[in-house]
Amino acid sequence: MADADLRRLPAVHLLLADAALASAITRIGQPAVAEVVRGVLDDARTALRAGTPFDLATIVPQCLARLAARHRLRTVINATGVLIHTNLGRAPLADEAVRAVTEAARGYVNLELDLTTGKRSHRNDAVKDDICALLGAESAVVVNNCAAATVLTLRALAAGREVIVARGELVEIGGGFRIPDIMAASGATLREVGTTNITRIADYEKAIGAQSALLLRVHQSNFRIRGFTASPALADLIALGRREGLPVIDDIGSGALVDYSQWGMTDEPLAAASLAAGADVVLFSADKLLGGPQAGIIAGKKSLIDRIARDPFYRATRPCKLTLAALAATLTLYRRGDWRQISVLQLLDQSMDDLRQRAQELASAVGGVARDDTTFVGGGSCPDESIPTVVVTIPGPAEELAARLRNGDPPVMARIHNGELLLDLRSVLPHEWDELKKAVNAMQEPRTK
């Protein structure tokens, strides 16, 4: 029955000569395109054998659709309004950091070499002094992310012993990563104290024993408990640690280096403030509020940092030259006082008037409506402190429009709220404005044809 149809299916090599597929071959290579073509032909054969009608004219479009849907890293325009979006790679780098990465990537660097003496040095030296100066820390070490910073710190300072932590701070960071699991991975034993909403200093006091290695505080990051709550002030925890001879480790999550309260975010601890208050070690991510590359910063007392940096696990979590180049350049911007060049801060610092003007422009170009709205900074920071923004709403079926924008070139990530498609301009970088306008126009074209 379908044998004649089966025989009419084109051969792989003929399909690969198709102009659109040939252009895909120049981009990603013949084997990858041939694999997709074979997949589509296999499905066509299966359909024909089952007696399902199959339109040969759809073969090339299907191949193109599958090629487009392949998961690969692409730059996308973030019009969600969430400035630090983990699914979108968190903080975009400042131009100077981008240049530093490019240069380091293109050639060799003195990653572990002291150019004055010609002797071997430590890769950490590229950023240590700047971190210490910015935080008022004795020493610092950098690893791949803050989760690694936590595991490494607990391993080096508490493996086989107990870490005392408040029950209300046993957070899940996102993507299923939970503080208790991270602790288990470190070989330290979790000693939970207090209750979900109330933990008092006496709870920590009671739990301290011969097995205690340290007191851990974890910033609640992505959630808040409201109502009848109590947790000891950092100062009280530090006083207790001093009395008992136990170090206090403060996992603040998002390492703010400037005061975010100027943008209405009053809930973010400053990394320097934690050390100034007497925390022995502070841990935070470099790609959240700091606005740098993915990395975890461990800073504090030299004696403890030395133990952490000597732990064999450091070797498994050490950052590469690209990360260190980007981080060093980002830290330099802070030290020069040029933090407005750091993308996250630049986006946050845009005035509502500027955003309104741009939104008006975009709205008239794409037939949308501009209005004021609110958004969140993201990245587990200030989950209940919104920041002002301006959005452009696009009329039409929101889910379908969002899908078209996602599949455009460049892909645009929008926000859907109450069945409405919103383009939030707070998180769109200045160099992306024109591209955004074009992408929205292109997305609307099929509708008007």
Closer to ligand PLP at the Cβ: 80 or 254? Answer: 254
Site for ligand PLP in 253-282 (CB under 6 A): 253-254
Shortest approach of ligand PLP to residue 61 CB, angstroms? 40
Q: How many residues does the chain have?
A: 449
For the chain, the C-alpha Rg in angstroms (whole number) is 27
Please state the three-class secondary structure of 277-290 as a single string.
CCCCEEEEECCCCC
Nearest residue to 137 via CA among 282, 241, 260, 238: 282
Count CA atoms within 13 Å of residue 207 on its CB side: 27
Cβ neighbors of 19 (< 8 A, separation 6 or more) are none
Site for ligand PLP in 173-232 (CB under 6 A): 173, 218-219, 221
Interface region with ligand PLP, contact rule CB under 6 A, candidates 26-34, 125-133, 249-257, 416-424? 249-257
Closer to ligand PLP at the Cβ: 41 or 151? Answer: 151
Shortest approach of ligand PLP to residue 254 CB, angstroms? 6
Number of residues that bind ligand PLP (CB under 6 A): 14
**Contact characters 144-183, ligand PLP, x per CB under 6 A:** -xxx--x----------------------x----------
Cβ neighbors of 299 (< 8 A, separation 6 or more) are 131, 132, 135, 137, 139, 140, 141, 271, 275, 281, 282, 305
**Contact characters 289-318, ligand PLP, x per CB under 6 A:** -------x----------------------
Burial of 98 (0-12, 13-18, 19+ CB in 10 A): middle
Residue of this chain nearest to ligand PLP (CB atom): 253
**Contact characters 96-135, ligand PLP, x per CB under 6 A:** ----------------------------------------
> d(Cα 340, Cα 166) in Å, to the nearest integer?
36
Does residue 330 belong to the site contacting ligand PLP (CB under 6 A)? no
The residue assigned the tokens 């993201």 is 378
At 248, list the tokens. Answer: 């206090």
**Interacting residue ranges for ligand PLP, rule: CB under 6 A:** 145-147, 150, 173, 218-219, 221, 251, 253-254, 285, 296, 380
